[in-house]
Structure 1
Amino acid sequence: MLDFGSKAALSKIFSMTCEPPPHRPRDPAAPAPAWVLLEPQAYLADVRNATTAEAFSSAGHTVQVSVCVSDPLDVSYLCVHCPGVPEANCGRPSIVCSEKDFLVLSVLFMPALRGREYFVYKAGPVPSLRLLPGPYPRVLTSSDLGLLPRDDGDHFVLAVLCYLPAPWDFALHVFSSRTWAWSRKVPQVEVSSNVRAQMPSIQAYKVIQFGEGTLGWVDLWRGILFCNVLDEMPVARFITLPKVMAGNMDNAKSSAWPLRNVAYRNGMIKFVEIEKHERPDVDKRLDDDLDTLYESHCLMNPKEIGWRAMTWYKMTSWDHWSKGYMAYDKEISVDYPSHSKLLPDLTLGDNYVRELTLKDLLASHPVLSLSCDCDDIVYLLCKSKFCNIKTWMIAVDLKKKMLVDLAPFSLKGYFTSAHPSGLSKYLNITPAMEGSSGGH
């Protein structure tokens, strides 16, 4: 799978001067995409367009936020500019959460300038940006903070899950845009004795919205803790995720992002896992079946590593998961006529070129589509087995076992999975202004 643990990779990820990637202009006649793949970290750059909004930090500094939209497979991203604040005093901003037309953004000012602050961006014909008031219950991250837009379209609720010392004890800190203040609740946790015995606690990776006031904190290795955060006395329950696939057992103590993901849409929870596995050698014969041994039989053959993707789904009311679809890399068909321009040649040496196929790629960081008509499509970040500098984003239909789309992808400044977001539906995208720069 892809390796993001090197010092070189981390230096790019957390570089404060990391510049935005090239932004391809969209078709002026095309409608805004129904959803986008949103990069979890923003860039420090002075970019102005029809999505730009401004607010003041607690110290009185201007914070300017703009959205640069691209259709999937390209990744959309935010640009943040703080005029008058040296880049050395402003860490790279990050997206905490996004639901419908709201987005929460974290901006890190160095300690002398009040530290980390949070802003709420609202998309629309006239976009807005507001500073969230403190004191914050903790450092707010995408693994802890959930966002609930209210039915009137103007208000929202934020909920932060805080871990208490005792196992399976939590506190909820809830922010309401109506009162513009924080409150605290302690949910009653109803978790079975079997779950408590096998899982001392959970460590959330992301928060998903179930609707009707319910948020779910997702531990991608274990399960989902969910409750209605609008209730005066919330009751938290737990949904276990499918068991870790055999080929991923050795990775169960590391980050789950490269291997697993969860999404919720239209009353259904969808789960996907990518497993790296050793392909069986169909030509291999046991030595006791041979009468003669040649040198090739006496040497160890190199292992051929492949991968497969599998989905599961369930309604929140079900007591079980139902299997969706599974596809091995070598099973995924490629429509060569339509993808001839997308499938690049893979160079193995100075004078040796071979055609790229999916079995020549290692896949990771699965993302489930948000489109209603694309239930079985999974987006994957891929790396060539033979060329470390080449990476791609691909879309695979697991039901049909076919490649839907493929595009070269740069890992510069990139760390975790891109998050699917419906923010693009609400943005005022003016093609003539999209991505225009005001200078660095």
Structure 2
Amino acid sequence: MTKGSRSSRRARANQLDAAAAAAAAAATTYPPWVLLHRSCTAVAPGSSIAGRNTQAAGHTTTGLPIAVSICVAPPPEGSRVCVQHPDGVQSTCVVVAAHGDSVLIKVSSLDRVTDHFIYNAFDAAAVTPRPPALLLLPVCYLDLNGTGLLRRGEDEFVVAELRIGYDNTTRMAAGELRLLRSGEWRATRPRVSHDGGEGKDFPSTWHNDTVIPVGDELLCWADMRHGLIFSKVFDESPGLRYVPLPKDPNFGQTVFRNVCVTAGGGTVKFVNIFPRCCCGGPSRSNCRLSEHAYTVHTWTLNMDDMTWVMDGILDSAYLWALDSYKDLPRVKLEYPVVSFDEPDVICFLVRGCNNHDKNSGSTVWTIAVDMRSKTLQSVFRYPNVLGSKSWQNIRPSRVSDYFNSKPSSLKPDSTQEQTVPSLANKSHAEIELQANDIRKSLQSPVESAGAPMQASKAAASPEATILTALEEIPGLDPDDMLKAYRILSYDDSGRRFRSLMRLPMSLRKDFVLLEIKGSEACFICSACSADQQL
């Protein structure tokens, strides 16, 4: 090897090291809030599940190991909860509720056993910093749309399920409120109060569409057709208070409205998307000029007297005239979600054909719009329309912000370190990337390097070993090298790297390019493309 080639190789290695360090730094910076899809992502044993910093492990009621982590992406892109089981175990996992540093997850397996876990992110600002943890709840059946989670302090939480019925004796609405507090379930049947009198003007039917936490004292059940029910679930005898939504004479479907919390979680905001006629009136029209025209109205709930105050209007004409919107379809927006931090910023779903290519087929975008400045802040296009199916049940959550405060010196406790590897041991051989494994792979007969160089590599860190192995692949583009470095270094199991090193040198480039292609084809979300095996 010439001096020039060695210098070039050293410079390229330095460039890759710098890029990898920057990527690692970026990976540890999480957005202050996320939008959690309801459907969880199943992850194969031995694969990296969205990030080491977010992983928690535990066991089901039948003793099976389970690991949960969060694949984080900044809004308006959705984030996902990832669930890992041993080989051969299948389950349906969904996000039920979220508040603060916690997420309530339902896990239904093929043996008809249903478990509920509370995933709790670590909080380095707490008195006793700790890694993420899974808490298995007492066995119960919970309604997905009628169950909420409220966190308070470091360890207090309430899981609450509300069902609305009618008392035949009093002919008034009554709720059955089931509460999990201090590890025990109990049920109460409070009546529904209203400013106009107990039960007065309460709708004849009630359907829970979602449950939102308001601050750390209230849970709010929302029926998007009628109104909200608030309850102080930490009280010894919590009551129920009904607040109707603003009137809408043109109400059509619930996909065009939503109730959210914003300004840090203490302000309740209602968003409604009205159809607009070409004449400007708030009504539907078959006119070609206004087939998809709309206006977005927002209200904020005054918590003192429980009255709504309209505070924003945006017409579709403003958005359609923006240069940043020119590639998006001019259709009615759907599924509004208000930013957790910024009351004027709302995320929407947009589905349709590209304005410049009517034969492009149906595509889905999520966008963030500033109602005050009437600007389009950001756009995310789903790689596959199936990837957006659970947007209609999206859950805003602050859980990602708790990962930002983790000190670099914080290590999982002994229980955590023992539980995660045991997940792999249930189904296949030890998957951790040990120094002996690296040494064996580097001493493979297909390796052309001499023994002194092998010993030097074996003594290096796994990341340095991966980088050196990639540099030795003839004709590998630097961009592809960086992508492969990220894929291999984030693979906690080490299986990809061991597979690479067992191949003859002539096949390693093809193997790396296939891994890159496979990771980029992941339809779940861009943030997990290199970290998951479906």
Structure 1 and Structure 2 fold alike (TM over 0.5):
yes
> Which digits, 9 at most, give the CA deviation of each residue in 1:298-346, with x for residues without a partner?
xx9676321221101122212531111111111237664xx4xxx6xxx
- Say if 1:194 and 1:159 are closer, same or farther in 2 by CA, change over 3 A: closer
Which gives a bigger RCO, structure 1 or 2 (Cα 8 Å, sep 6+)?
A: 1
Per-residue CA distance 1:202-239 (angstroms, 9 max, x = gap): 21211122235321111111111112112222221111
Greater Rg, structure 1 or structure 2?
2
Amino acid at match of 1:384: G
The answer to whether the Cα contact below 8 Å between 2:276 and 2:290 also exists between their aligned partners in 1 is no
Query: Does the CA contact (< 8 Å) of 1:144 and 1:162 recur in 2?
Result: yes
CA distance in 2, matches of 1:31, 1:163: 42
Which residue is 2:319 aligned to?
332
Local SS of the residue matching 1:203: coil
Among 230, 237, 242, the residue aligned to 1:233: 237
Question: Structure 1, residues 108-151: CA drift from partner, whole Å, max 9, x if none?
Answer: 112xx2432111111115111121112x2x4331x211212122
Instruction: Tell me whether 1:68 sits opposite 2:71 in the alignment.
Output: yes
Q: Is the 8 A contact 2:292 2:331 kept in 1?
A: no
Q: State how far apart, in whole Å, the 1-side matches of 2:361 and 2:257 are.
A: 19
Pick from 393, 397, 400 the counterpart of residue 421 of structure 1: 397
Aligned residue identity for 2:106:
S
Q: Are residues 245 and 269 of structure 1, via their aligned partners in 2, closer, same or farther at CA, if it must alter by over 3 Å?
A: farther
Partner of 1:226, secondary structure, is strand
In structure 1, the residue matched to 2:379 is 406
Alignment match, 1:308: 295
Q: CA deviation at 1:185?
A: 2.2
Q: Deviations over 1:345-401 (max 9, x none)?
A: xxxxxxxxxx5366x233101010011xx2211111112355542221111111122
Alpha-carbon distance, 1:63 to partner? 1.5
Q: 1:281 to 1:205 in 2, by over 3 A?
A: closer
Secondary structure of the 2:255 match is coil
Aligned match of 1:219? 223
> Partners in 2 of 1:198 and 1:228 — Cα distance?
19
Q: Which residue of 2 aligns with 1:389?
A: 362
Q: Does 1:157 align with 2:185?
A: no
State the Cα distance separating 1:32 from its structure 2 match: 1.6
1:183-202 mapped onto 2 (5 Å cutoff)? 183-191=186-194, 192=196, 196-197=200-201, 199-202=203-206
Q: Distance in 1 between matches of 2:220 and 2:235?
A: 15
Deviation at residue 264 of structure 1 after TM alignment: 4.9
- Which amino acid letter does the alignment assign opposite residue 352 of structure 2? S
Task: For 2:176, give the aligned amino acid.
Answer: A
Pair 1:378 & 2:346 matched: yes
Q: Is the 8 A contact 2:142 2:161 kept in 1?
A: no
* Cα contact 1:104–1:118 (8 A) shared by 2: yes
Q: 1:404 to 1:316 in 2, by over 3 A?
A: same
8 Å CA contact retained: 1:221, 1:244? no
Q: Cα RMSD (Å) of the superposition?
A: 2.9
With 327-336 and 72-81 compared, the bigger mean Cα shift is at 327-336
Q: Secondary structure at the match of 1:234?
A: coil
CA 131–383 in structure 1, closer or farther in 2 if over 3 Å, else same: same
Shift of 1:157: 1.5
Listed as ranges, the matches of 1:4-403 within 5 Å are: 28=26, 31-46=29-44, 47-48=48-49, 49-50=51-52, 51-87=54-90, 90-91=91-92, 93-110=93-110, 113-124=111-122, 126-134=131-139, 136=140, 138-141=141-144, 143-151=145-153, 153-166=154-167, 168-176=173-181, 179-191=182-194, 192=196, 196-197=200-201, 199-244=203-248, 246=250, 249-251=251-253, 256-265=254-263, 267-280=266-279, 304-332=291-319, 336=323, 339=324, 355-356=326-327, 360-371=330-341, 374-384=342-352, 386=358, 388-403=361-376
Q: TM-score, normalised by structure 1?
A: 0.74
> Any conservation in 1 of the 2:35–2:394 contact (CA below 8 Å)?
yes
Q: Which runs of 5+ in 2 are unaligned?
A: 1-22, 123-129, 282-286, 409-485, 491-526
Whole-angstrom CA distance in 1 between matches of 2:335 and 2:189: 34
Amino acid at match of 1:96: V
Equivalents in 2 of 1:305, 1:279: separation in Å?
A: 10
Contact 2:148 2:161 in 1 (8 A): yes
Q: Could you tell me whether the CA contact under 8 Å between 2:337 and 2:347 is conserved in 1?
A: yes
Contact kept? 1:306, 1:329, Cα under 8 Å: yes
Is the strand fraction higher in 1 or 2?
A: 1
Deviation at 1:162, TM superposition (A): 2.7
Q: Which structure: greater helix fraction?
A: 2
Code of the aligned partner of 2:108: L
Q: How far apart, CA to CA, are the structure 1 residues paired with 2:132 and 2:224?
A: 34
TM-score, normalised via structure 2 length: 0.62
Tell me if the contact between 2:278 and 2:289 (Cα under 8 Å) persists in the aligned partners: no
Number of residue-to-residue matches in the alignment: 363
Cα distance in 2 for partners of 1:155, 1:319 equals: 27
| Partner amino acid, structure 1, of 2:271 | V
